[in-house]
Amino acid sequence: MRLCPVRELLPGMMLGKSIFTEAGQLLLRAGYTLDAEVLHRLAATGRNAIYVFEEGTEDIIPEDLISDESRGRAAAAYGQTLDRMTETMRTRKDIAPDQLRSMLQRGGEFRNVVDVDRVSADVASIVDEIMDSSAEVLNQTLMKSRTGYNTEHAVDTALVALLIGRRLQYSRRDLVELGTGAFLHDLGKMALPALMNKPRSEMSEDEHALLQEHPVFGQQLLFHSSDRFFMAQTTILHHHERQDGMGYPLGLEGKNTKPLLDHQDATKYIFPFAEIVRVADSYDNLIAGGGPTGDPERAIRDVMRYSRSAYNAEVVALLAEVISIFPTGAMVCIAECSSKLLEGAQGAVMKINRERPHHPLVVLLRNARGGKVTPKTIDLAAESHVRLELVH
């Protein structure tokens, strides 16, 4: 199967991987033959790409980090939390910011907004799958939708953070705490429904200042929902702090050292889990459209640009190791190649080359003029020079 931009889908194509709604419900099952009505519905979701079956790509099987079922359960848990917060805030749309702060501190109206048992069970299931999986990189960050942004962002931020945590050899217990903090890192935004999806460029100064309190709100909401997960609470509270001390809400500094739990003072320095979540959050925002590109390599470069100042340099280095810049099944164009006859040709990535990420195994499907060709597998590792571009 290959990853196909939604704008290029045609009636009669067969769905390669199941698609779920933002609430975690099955929308379309793998093997479904697409028709005009379904294509219209997919376009309306703002989804940018899906997997389809195509001749020559039968042997391309993306190695998923977690199952569709686990992703669906996590999405449903997030949707439940959002629904509970929406209901709680329904009659309080015009509440003043200082009143909101007081309400959250008291916690009476916000107790058990988060079904912590359900969320932690779903995160623990994801952790177990990741620990058992042979997959070393996240392969599905290119599959985003506009309507499902908040949920997809929560899940994918958690996956990136957990892959980094696995590289650091965190224990299962620590991974569950890290995953819970990453999954709920934007919990505080749910208390600000008017600002949750509002572009920052359209916010007033007061609105922007209020938004910067969402880490505090999120920590309070989790605190009032459970007497457990102290590390997850601290992760939420610190996830917008910067290494140079210019972050918010506390202005804490980082040490730019490996994020290990070494009992450092969390009132002076950024909690290690939060350093991981900050990088994972920023990367996924860039992929999802919060930045100028959906290109993993360029998004990683954008994060690297602020390594040591905004982001922990050790975490940024690990980010580059756990993200597939040319995911399995993604369509690529051979922009430059030592074999000139290959330049301009397009194909689907069959296998990632961990030693040489820019030289994957590719199934050629289109010539330089865009016409279909007899599928042919080529190993770009045999080329001395290759420059690939993702086909969006």
CA angle 26-27-31, nearest 5°?
Answer: 95
Return d(Cα 40, Cα 256) in angstroms, integer: 47
For residue 142, the model assigns a pLDDT of 62
Alpha carbon distances (Å) from 102 to 109, 111, 216, 217, 316: 11, 14, 12, 10, 37
**Can you give 193-213 as a three-state secondary structure string?**
CCCCCCCHHHCCHHHHHHHCC
pLDDT tens figures, 363-386: 999 999 999 999 999 999 999 999
Res. 22: pLDDT tops 80: no
- Highest mean pLDDT: which of 9-18, 177-186, 258-267, 349-358? 177-186
Average pLDDT over residues 172-197: 92
Average pLDDT over residues 175-196: 92
* Token pair of 367 as six digits: 């010539």
Instruction: Record the pTM.
Output: 0.91
Average pLDDT over residues 62-70: 84
Res. 269: pLDDT tops 90: yes
Model confidence at 292, pLDDT cuts 50, 70, 90, reads: very low
Return d(Cα 256, Cα 244) in angstroms, integer: 10
Model confidence at 206, pLDDT cuts 50, 70, 90, reads: confident
Task: Give Rg (Cα) of the chain.
Answer: 22
Higher-confidence position of 104 and 31: 31
For residue 197, the model assigns a pLDDT of 77
pLDDT tens figures, 301-324: 999 999 999 999 999 999 999 998
Average pLDDT over residues 225-247: 95
Return d(Cα 247, Cα 253) in angstroms, integer: 8
Return d(Cα 253, Cα 246) in angstroms, integer: 8
Higher-confidence position of 353 and 176: 176
Return d(Cα 202, Cα 371) in angstroms, integer: 44
To the nearest whole number, what is the mean pLDDT of the chain?
A: 89
φ, ψ for residue 19, nearest 5 deg: -120, 135
CB within 8 A of 34, min separation 6: which ones? 9, 10, 11, 12, 13, 14, 15, 52
Model confidence at 340, pLDDT cuts 50, 70, 90, reads: very high
Return d(Cα 257, Cα 170) in angstroms, integer: 16
Return d(Cα 114, Cα 220) in angstroms, integer: 11
